[in-house]
């Protein structure tokens, strides 16, 4: 049986042979000009062969669960960050996580955890932003040790291409906090944890510092 990769290899070899024969003919008939162009011809042929499309290994799937994040109900605290001032979401905002099943078999969402990555003594001015406040199903309490997500209803069964939406009110009274979430899951006899953040960057929440509401 002929292997599937034989024909492209033969064609490539034939093409290189023709290029070499053409270069030899140029050396015979026009030796003075041939040296100037032969190197370019052979170089182009070699580059074309090395850069031709070849099968590439596909990246392994990230897991059976995907997500999207949206932050709502925002007030801001203006903090000094080095030589610039940044607006950081004030405590009390909502992190909305939309979780989608990507597995052909149902996924069981077994828990949701928060992880504090950094805590600073940030102090700044509160700037209010008018926004409708949705019903908040969960709370994230960053000041507890360890930080705690107050949830109800786990586990959730997530079918293929079905979604669950988690609204979480985030609370802290201790400065400027960088944090992320972990969503625990099990599917098909396997278990894992999905890291939830802002495209690789942690969430950031600043305390209101007792500013009257």
Output the tens digit of pLDDT for each of the chain's 213 residues: 444 444 444 444 555 455 455 544 454 444 544 444 444 444 444 444 443 444 444 444 468 999 999 988 878 888 887 788 888 888 888 899 999 999 899 999 999 999 999 988 767 788 776 544 334 479 999 999 999 999 877 898 888 888 888 888 999 998 899 999 999 999 999 999 999 999 999 999 999 875 555
Burial class (CB within 10 angstroms; exposed 0-12, middle 13-18, buried 19+) of 128: exposed
Tell me what pLDDT residue 210 has.
Answer: 56
Tell me what pLDDT residue 132 has.
Answer: 47
For 118-164, where are the alpha helices, taking DSSP H only?
Answer: none
Give CA–CA dist 55/149, Å, rounded. Answer: 45
Tell me what pLDDT residue 125 has.
Answer: 80
- Under DSSP, the state recorded for 29 is H
Please choose, from the candidates 68, 67, 111, 73, the residue with its C-alpha nearest in 3D space to the C-alpha of residue 205.
73
Tell me what pLDDT residue 89 has.
Answer: 87
Give CA–CA dist 150/168, Å, rounded. Answer: 9
How many Cβ atoms are within 10 Å of 25's Cβ, its own excluded? Answer: 11
Tell me what pLDDT residue 129 has.
Answer: 66
């Amino acid at each position: 049986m002929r292997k599937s990769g034989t024909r492209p290899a033969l064609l490539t070899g034939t093409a290189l042979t023709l290029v070499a024969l053409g270069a030899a003919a140029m050396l015979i008939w026009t030796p003075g000009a041939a040296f100037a162009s032969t190197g370019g011809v052979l170089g182009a042929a070699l580059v074309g062969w090395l850069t031709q499309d070849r099968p590439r290994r596909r990246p392994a799937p990230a897991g059976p669960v995907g997500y999207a994040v949206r932050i709502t109900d925002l007030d801001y605290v203006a903090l000094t960050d080095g030589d610039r001032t940044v607006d950081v979401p004030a405590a009390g905002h909502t992190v909305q996580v939309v979780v989608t099943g990507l597995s052909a078999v149902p996924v069981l969402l077994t828990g949701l955890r928060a992880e504090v990555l950094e805590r600073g003594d940030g102090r700044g001015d509160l700037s209010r932003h008018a926004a409708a406040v949705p019903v908040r199903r969960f709370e994230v309490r960053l000041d507890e040790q360890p930080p705690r997500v107050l949830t109800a209803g786990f586990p959730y069964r997530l079918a293929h291409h079905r979604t669950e939406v988690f609204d979480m009110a985030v609370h802290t009274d201790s400065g400027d906090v960088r944090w992320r979430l972990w969503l625990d899951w099990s599917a098909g006899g396997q278990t894992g944890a999905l890291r939830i953040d802002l495209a690789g960057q942690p969430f950031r929440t600043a305390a209101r510092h007792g500013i009257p509401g």
